[in-house]
Amino acid sequence: MDRDEEVLEAPYRLEYTYQRSTGPVIGRFLGALRDARLEGVRTASGSVMVPPLEYDADGAATGEPTVVGPGGVVTTWAWVTEPRREHPLPHPFAWALVRLDGADSAMLHAVDAGSIDAMRTGMRVVPRWQDERTGSIRDLACFVPESAAAAAAAAAAAAAASAAAAGDDRPPVTMFPSPVALDYTVTAGRHLSAYLRALAERRIVGGRCPVCTKVYLPPRGACPTCGVPADAPVEVADHGVVTTFCIIRIPFDAAPFPPPYASVAVLLEGADMPIFHLLRGIPPEEVRMGMRVRAVWVADDQLGPTLASIRWFEPTGEPDAPHDQIARHL
């Protein structure tokens, strides 16, 4: 395939991090992990549940926290040969159900055994703690096969944490971040690929419908009004008119600038569809419909097949366009 016809692909991650409330029972469990201590809870029937929950399987409220472990027994396990980015260990490990000493239920966690040959049901394990603990399940880095050295290290970590916790005035754990992410591979298609490739050359290329003559930007394979291919390439200007805008005043993680800032729809000269971009170089309260603006491109060595090749738009200082000129493009 000719390079000019290659379809572009790019990774795309859709991600948001929730703040979840723990409730008092899980919060206490996470707070204990921060102190390098494993805790369960006693149920109405007298058994010890780990991790603790507010209610047992019969729906009865659970009672007082109970210290368990630190050692335990693997009751079942599965080997992970190719860890994913989110996994707790970067090398092969086991997911295992571990029944801690003093507990009647098993908890799921990772076991760093080094090799699948070192794993077996019934093996004894002890925790490996993170040095820096925040009140998260990840404070417990993993379990490791019990040996004299591992048991001594786990006991020393717990003793040090216990001593540090004695004068502890840290607040109880009530919230924790819960990231959710979906990884996609986005395929641009032929028309969008041509548009993106032109941006890497400081050109903006739309596609014209042969029937209604509208210039779509970005170009589309077909005119949604006429149902015919709209693939005649048309180069449009890198300046135009603000049709509509909004002022972003609420901060969020992916914001390009500290708010307030303006996001604008710009009708480029020669196009019939506005594109969306940022506007800089003017106080947000002075942005208005009809304002004439031009693209501010990135430096040559930063150009690429992306709309980010345009850093933002800025006012040209020319008189505003009359409303009639943009009325059909809102």
Quick one: which segment of 172-180, 190-198, 216-224, 290-298 binds Zn ion (CB under 5 A)? Answer: 216-224
Burial of 85: CB neighbours in 10 Å, binned 0-12, 13-18, 19+? exposed
Return left, alpha or beta for 79; rule: phi > 0 is left, psi -120 to 50 is alpha, else beta: beta
Per DSSP bridges, beta strands 38-42 and 48-49 are: antiparallel
Q: Which two tokens stand for residue 71?
A: 């050692």
Complex with Zn ion: residue 97 or 226, whichever CB lies closer = 226
Rounded distance, CA 58 to CA 41, Å?
15
Q: Say if CB 96 and CB 116 are below 8 A apart.
A: no
Complex with Zn ion: residue 30 or 273, whichever CB lies closer = 273
How does DSSP assign 99-145, residue by residue? Answer: EETT-SS-EEEEE--SSGGG--TT-EEEEEE-SS--SSGGGEEEEEE
Asked if residue 223 binds Zn ion (CB under 5 A), the reply is yes
Please tell me what DSSP assigns to residue 54: S
H/E stretch holding 157 reads helix 148-166
Among 89, 155, 226, 307, interactor with Zn ion by CB under 5 A: 226
Asked if residue 295 binds Zn ion (CB under 5 A), the reply is no
Among 44, 67, 211, 308, interactor with Zn ion by CB under 5 A: 211
Tracing tokens 């209604």 back to the chain, one arrives at: 212
Q: Nearest approach, Cβ of 1 to Zn ion (angstroms)?
A: 28
Q: Nearest approach, Cβ of 209 to Zn ion (angstroms)?
A: 3
Asked if residue 178 binds Zn ion (CB under 5 A), the reply is no
Quick one: which segment of 2-10, 62-70, 204-212, 295-303 binds Zn ion (CB under 5 A)? Answer: 204-212
Complex with Zn ion: residue 50 or 267, whichever CB lies closer = 267
Asked if residue 209 binds Zn ion (CB under 5 A), the reply is yes
Quick one: which segment of 113-121, 146-154, 203-211, 316-324 binds Zn ion (CB under 5 A)? Answer: 203-211
Return the CA Rg of the chain.
30
Q: Please, which of residues 10-29 interact with Zn ion by CB under 5 A? A: none
Quick one: which segment of 26-34, 79-87, 186-194, 209-217 binds Zn ion (CB under 5 A)? Answer: 209-217
Rounded distance, CA 253 to CA 191, Å?
31
Asked if residue 141 binds Zn ion (CB under 5 A), the reply is no
55: number of CA atoms within 13 Å, CB side? 4
Q: Which two tokens stand for residue 174?
A: 């009530």
How many residues touch Zn ion (CB under 5 A)? 6
Complex with Zn ion: residue 212 or 330, whichever CB lies closer = 212
Q: Nearest approach, Cβ of 213 to Zn ion (angstroms)?
A: 7
Among 7, 175, 212, 255, interactor with Zn ion by CB under 5 A: 212
Binning the chain into helix, strand and coil, the percentages to the nearest 5 are 20, 35, 45
In sequence order, which residues have a C-beta less than 8 Å from that of residue 147 and are 6 or more positions away? Answer: none
Quick one: which segment of 19-27, 133-141, 218-226, 281-289 binds Zn ion (CB under 5 A)? Answer: 218-226
What are the residues binding Zn ion (CB under 5 A)? 209, 211-212, 223, 225-226
